[in-house]
Amino acid sequence: MAPGTPHSSVPSRPDRSTSAHQDARIDDLLAEGPTLSLEFFPPKTDRGVANLLDTVDELEDLNPDFVSVTYGAGGSTRDRTRDLVVSANADRNYPVMAHLTCVGHTRSELAELLEDYAASGVRNILALAGDPPADGSPAGGDFTYATELVELIREVGDFSVGVAAHPETHPRSPDRASDRRHLADKLEVADFAITQFFFSASDYFEMVDELTALGVTTPIVPGVIPVTNPVSVARFADMAKAHRPHELWARYESVADDEAALMEVAVEAAANLAEELLAGGAPGVHLYALNRAEAPLGVGARLGWRIRPAVEATDG
């Protein structure tokens, strides 16, 4: 198969190489056709940031449609997230989306940050409630729900706004029916959603069917994680109450001490999941890159989405 040629069951991505720009809205990109996006977290040190930017350079081979940068609990990475989003958004030919949580923040704090993003040319925000304090103490701040943050974002600027979705329900949801009603309410005010990672395509499609029955038409981009660190990912999955298929995890554990073999299994599993999702009509794939290039590049290659012409960043 020639580089850049999709597998027969994977739809082609639109060629955005001549129209890509930093202030593109993600909802507009999704309306054009399938997207490939990447998620990073802000490193704690300047050296870490430099290494991440090198990784982002390597991932230009994927010609991503957009990337996103996470936001630490309670705003613990506020400045590093902001600086990374603003600088990367200015330097790349695709939009960089800022994650933003509201629990523990005041309205004025968030409005100030949003105004800063708007003035800096950032056009895309992922609105999240965020986790309450682990010790059970009051979170403080002016917000409780992501829908409240979406309302504030709409008031402050003309952003494309995404929210989170959990295919296997949010870990704090009392039951599946109430989870889906709450998610439908979020999607009614948002432009798109990105999911928590999961490992079975059926979980995604069941969620979409349930939301469709509630009248939801908002695009929901599935999140896929290459499991290059089974211990760490298992911990995150258990916290999110994401089911880990026994047979799949047994494969990871059988090669856990062989880095090359583990990478091969991780890429194969993530690519197979992504292919099944795209073939079934998912509007794109959002890869949790974990600030590394090798696994996302491998997934992109298997999908036939890796080698695409890049364009130079411009001042305009």
Could you give the CA distance from residue 305 to residue 260 in angstroms, rounded to a whole number?
A: 22
N- to C-terminal Cα separation, the chain: 36
Task: List domains and CATH numbers for the chain.
Answer: 26-303 (3.20.20.220)
The DSSP call for residue 3 is T
pLDDT for residue 137: 53
- Within 8 A by CB and 6+ apart from 97, the residues are 26, 66, 67, 68, 69, 85, 122, 124, 125, 126, 162
Q: What's at 304, amino acid-wise?
A: G
In this predicted structure, what is the pLDDT of residue 144? 86
Q: What is the 3-state secondary structure (H, E, C) of 29-78?
A: HHHHCCEEEEEECCCCCHHHHHHHHHHHHHHHHHCCCEEEECCCHHHCCH
Please report the pLDDT score of residue 15 as a whole number: 80
φ, ψ dihedrals at 115, nearest 5°: -65, -40
pLDDT for the residue 313? 47
Q: What is the pLDDT along the chain (316 residues), one digit of tens a residue?
A: 444 445 557 888 888 766 667 889 999 999 999 999 999 999 999 999 999 999 999 999 999 999 999 997 666 678 999 999 999 999 999 999 999 999 889 999 999 999 999 999 999 999 999 876 555 555 667 888 999 999 999 999 999 999 999 999 999 899 999 999 999 999 999 999 999 999 999 999 999 999 999 999 999 999 999 999 999 999 999 999 899 999 999 999 999 999 999 999 999 999 999 999 999 999 999 999 999 999 999 999 999 987 544 444 444 4
pTM of this structure: 0.91
- Reduced to 3 states (helix: H, G, I; strand: E, B; else coil), residue 128 is strand
Between CA 45 and CA 268 the distance in angstroms is 32
Q: How far apart are CA 266 and CA 264, in angstroms?
A: 6
Query: Could you list the active site residues?
Result: 39
Tokens representing residue 259 in the block: 């880095």
* Neighbouring residues of 25: CB distance < 8 A, sequence distance ≥ 6: 95, 123, 124, 160, 191
CA angle 227, 230, 233 (to 5 degrees): 75
DSSP code string of 280-309: TT-SEEEEE-TT-SHHHHHHHHHHT-S---
DSSP state of 97: E
Q: What's residue 10's pLDDT?
A: 85
Q: How far apart are CA 224 and CA 127, in angstroms?
A: 19
Partners of 163 in the beta sheet?
127, 193
Dihedral pair phi/psi, residue 63, rounded to 5°:
45, 60
Could you tell me the two tokens for 150? Answer: 């979406």
pLDDT at 290: 95
CA distance 222 to 205: 10
Q: How far is CA 246 from CA 180, 200, 252, in A?
A: 26, 12, 10
Structure-token pair, residue 111:
């409005």
